[in-house]
Amino acid sequence: MFSLISLNFTMNPKVCQNFQIATLLYCFNEQEEILLLERAQEPNRGLWSPCGGKLKMDLGESPYACACREAREEIGATLTPPDLQLAALISEHGYQGQTHWLMFLFEVRVKLKSLPPPHAEGRFAFFPREKIAALKIPQTDRERIWPWFWQFRGGFFAAHCHCHADGRNDWTLEETK
């Protein structure tokens, strides 16, 4: 287990308007291929990434509840918090020059039996680990998130990325277990 430092978020709309909290679901099939979504919407339209979505902060939704809801909505899987392992906590400062993200990455313990149908968010495909590098994926995923996910799989890592307007990203690995 790990401990999260108390995260204090202000509900002041002027402060929160450019800050998003989201979950990402790292789902695998029985062949250990990962499910990715070719996004049809922003952010990252046209890129492959794990499915997931934004927390409903106005409802006080927890990251685990959000992950379970997104699994139900996007891939038709009924999950409960014990079906999830928190794999990472990633913060991105100034992603795409406009948004700050706090992302909870969950590995889904339940293996998927089939490919989910296309969704309003995009289309799904399974990929073996070695094929991910050849896909169109977000720069931050390519630089650090995927390599650290594989390195610390089964454990936990926390990282921060300061995204610069010139496309350069400064990464800090803040915790590993």
Question: Which among 174, 150, 152, 154 is positioned nearest to 162, based on CA atoms?
Answer: 174
* Residue 28 included in any domain: yes
* Residue 140 included in any domain: yes
pTM over 0.85: yes
* Residue 12 included in any domain: no
* Residue 84 included in any domain: yes
pLDDT at residue 38 is higher than 80: yes
Which residues form the domain of 78? 20-176
Top-confidence residue, 88 or 44: 88
- Cα separation, 70 vs 116, whole angstroms: 13
Residue 43 pLDDT grade (very low, low, confident, very high; cuts 50, 70, 90): confident
Q: Residue 164: how many CB atoms within 10 A of its CB? A: 12
- Per-residue model confidence (pLDDT) at position 17: 55
* Residue 11 included in any domain: no
The dihedral built from the CA positions of residue 16, 44, 150 and 76, taken in this order, carries a sign that is positive
pLDDT at residue 84 is higher than 60: yes
Which CATH number fits the domain that encloses residue 113? 3.90.79.10
pLDDT at residue 157 is higher than 80: yes
pLDDT at residue 113 is higher than 50: yes
Average confidence score pLDDT of the chain: 89
* Residue 61 included in any domain: yes
If one counts the domains in the chain, the total is 1
* Residue 6 included in any domain: no
Q: What is the pLDDT of residues 125-146, one digit of tens each?
A: 999 999 999 999 999 999 999 9
- Per-residue model confidence (pLDDT) at position 97: 63
Residues 6+ apart with CB under 8 A from 95: 43, 101, 140, 161, 163
- Per-residue model confidence (pLDDT) at position 18: 66
- The answer to whether 123 and 116 have CB atoms below 8 angstroms apart is no
* Residue 5 included in any domain: no
